[in-house]
Amino acid sequence: MDRRDFLRATAGAGVAGLALASPVGAQEEGAESLADWFANTDNVSGLTDATGQDEVTITVGGEGNGGAFGFSPAAVRVDPGTTVVWKWSGKGGMHNVVAKDGSFESEMLSEEGATFEYAAEEAGVYRYVCAPHEPMGMKGALVVGDAEVSLAAPEPEPTEPTGPTFDGWLAGVDNYTDVVDMRGKEEVRVKVGADGNGGEFAFEPAAIHVDPGTTVVWEWVGSAGAYSVVDDDLGFQSERVASSGTEYALEFGGDGVSKYYCEDYGEQGMRGVVLVGDGVQTVPTARAYATAGLGATAIAAPLGLGLYVHYKDTTQPNE
């Protein structure tokens, strides 16, 4: 394969008296996660510590979930035997308080100042809802005693890749399992700064298979720092950009493999692969052109048997 035909690049570039809620943190080992339970509940800021109090009040019809459709605070820790008083705000229409395990249930009420009480004697996690507004996210959690809970989603179990690792290039890339077949498309997109490798430090998909002539567009989505797209062998390199919405595009020709990485986070697994056509048949080289926005260009020129690229980086955020 002629090195010059392998790569052509275009770069576009609640409640008074309660302690402050503990922040939403990482999933603690052995803790029960409430992340899925509160997935559609928008008024959860942490677990409010109300231990040491004989009575705790939770507002029914507090602000949240698009109106007065929240329990406030939504997640509270209390001692066994503490009397929990749910007090209606008079807003949001008819509400009730119903434990998912059936341990308690109030009547449907709407008047301001109405109350319902319950005291849990056993340690544990009591999930409850307002039955008519549960689909909107009106949910709560009463954490009693020393039950271990977390509002963070559990860390996914590491998976062994089922696809090729390209001589170990993708070994240790925790969001990679196999090459995603995107042949038949004129343009494909790869997220930059997707979840993976301990944070927003992944290309997603990590490996793609495309036809010669396909344009691959990398789109910045993460906010953990400045990202870049670099292939030392083929000689292309975007700017280091910390702006969501940035795009960098390359049109690939011929057959070959691009093994690329992010300058700052490549060592922790932010690496990717573009498999083009039938892959590597001989040692590939490249000729690169770059354009951005209104047509800024870059020049690439092979020298002898090797490759030298004079490359003007034009990566820039989408306007």
**If you write DSSP's letter for every residue of 85-136 in order, what string do you get?**
EEEE-S-SS-B--EETTSS-B---B-STT-EEEEE--S-EEEEEE-GGGGGG
224 with 288, same domain: the answer is yes
313 with 169, same domain: the answer is yes
Considering the domain boundaries, does residue 80 fall inside one?
yes
Residue range of the domain that includes 165: 3-13+158-317
Of 299 and 20, which is predicted with more confidence?
20
- Distance between CA atoms of residues 104 and 11, nearest Å: 60
Q: What are the pLDDT digits (tens) for 250-276?
A: 998 888 899 999 999 999 999 999 999
Task: Say how many domains are in the chain.
Answer: 2
167 with 129, same domain: the answer is no
Q: Are 229 and 248 within 8 A, CB to CB?
A: yes
pTM check: above 0.85? no
Q: Which residues contact 232 (CB under 8 A, 6 or more apart)?
A: none
Is 143's pLDDT higher than 50?
yes
59 with 174, same domain: the answer is no
Is 167's pLDDT higher than 60?
yes
Confidence of residue 31 (pLDDT cuts 50, 70, 90): confident
- Domain boundary, last residue among 150, 184, 215: 150
129 with 80, same domain: the answer is yes
CA angle 199, 202, 204 (to 5 degrees): 130
168 with 305, same domain: the answer is yes
Considering the domain boundaries, does residue 213 fall inside one?
yes
- Domain boundary, last residue among 129, 150, 171: 150
57 with 144, same domain: the answer is yes
**Residue 15: C-alpha distances to residues 30, 57, 175, 264 (Å):** 29, 7, 41, 44
Q: Are 148 and 171 within 8 A, CB to CB?
A: no
User: What's the CATH number where 304 sits?
Assistant: 2.60.40.420
Is 122's pLDDT higher than 90?
yes
Mean pLDDT of the chain: 81
Considering the domain boundaries, does residue 19 fall inside one?
no
142 with 237, same domain: the answer is no
